[in-house]
A and B are shown apart, each in its own frame.
Chain A
């Protein structure tokens, strides 16, 4: 079972590392358009990768599915709320128009 544990550990770190490296590579090489980058989206992206890595480290060190600390939930939740509020603000007239129409 220790081999399986090690395999899963490698697999999950490889996945998270590969996704992070691809995003980083695209950012550096211009594959992700940062000319019109929005701060709220950049913040959410960083929060997601940081919280995912943090949670993964907690799982591996404690060998259980740990409860997420309130501060982490608050950070991730507020990032999401800001992102959603910004999206809603950009599309506010159209969205409200659709709510008013029958």
Chain B
């Protein structure tokens, strides 16, 4: 039983270590973009970065305590950190998505207004051309002059 626990612990360490190594490698290569981590941009989310760090720290701490005590530890005390980082990530994502949705709606409205303006311009041009093709208006005949001897009553 002791050997099984040891083997499971080793497998756990290898899996988490491989994921951590991949994350560190991507951070180093620039695949995980940190350029705008402090200047505020969608590409580098600080909330996501925070969530990543706490997930690894608490995951590895859990593994550490489980290996040490040879039993599953109580995680109730770690919820606060995960809750804060996870909640911040979710709220940040919600704000970002709301803003993106509003921006898309605004872009759509602008495009629709531009299309309507272009259509109205085309109709006006057609009307102008049609007016040019019409024959010039004939002068209307003047009403006959009233007889000179008659007086109006």
- Let me know if A73 and B80 touch, CB within 8 A: yes
Closest A residue to B24 using CB positions: A18
- Let me know if A15 and B20 touch, CB within 8 A: yes
**How many residues on chain A are close to B (CB under 8 Å)?**
58
Produce 1/0 per residue, B112-130, CB < 8 A to A.
0000000000000000000
- Let me know if B96 and A91 touch, CB within 8 A: yes
**Chain A contacts for B64, CB-based, 8 A:** 5, 8-9, 12, 59-60, 63
Assembled-state Cα–Cα distance A15/B54 (Å): 11
- Let me know if A16 and B57 touch, CB within 8 A: yes
Closest B residue to A77 using CB positions: B84
Assembled-state Cα–Cα distance A55/B52 (Å): 15
**Chain A contacts for B84, CB-based, 8 A:** 73, 76-77, 80
**Chain B contacts for A7, CB-based, 8 A:** 13
Assembled-state Cα–Cα distance A97/B102 (Å): 6
Counting contact residues on chain B (CB < 8 A from A), the size range is 35 or more
- Let me know if A84 and B95 touch, CB within 8 A: yes
- Let me know if B34 and A31 touch, CB within 8 A: yes
Produce 1/0 per residue, B56-97, CB < 8 A to A.
111011111101111001110110110011011001100110
Q: Which of chain B's residues 29-50 have a Cβ closer than 8 Å to chain A?
A: 30, 34-40, 46-47, 49-50
Closest 4 CB pairs of A and B: A98-B102, A91-B99, A67-B77, A37-B38
Other A-B contacts than A34-B39, A65-B78, 13 sampled, CB-CB below 8 A, are: A12-B56, A19-B24, A41-B37, A45-B49, A56-B61, A59-B61, A64-B69, A65-B74, A68-B77, A73-B84, A80-B47, A84-B95, A95-B98
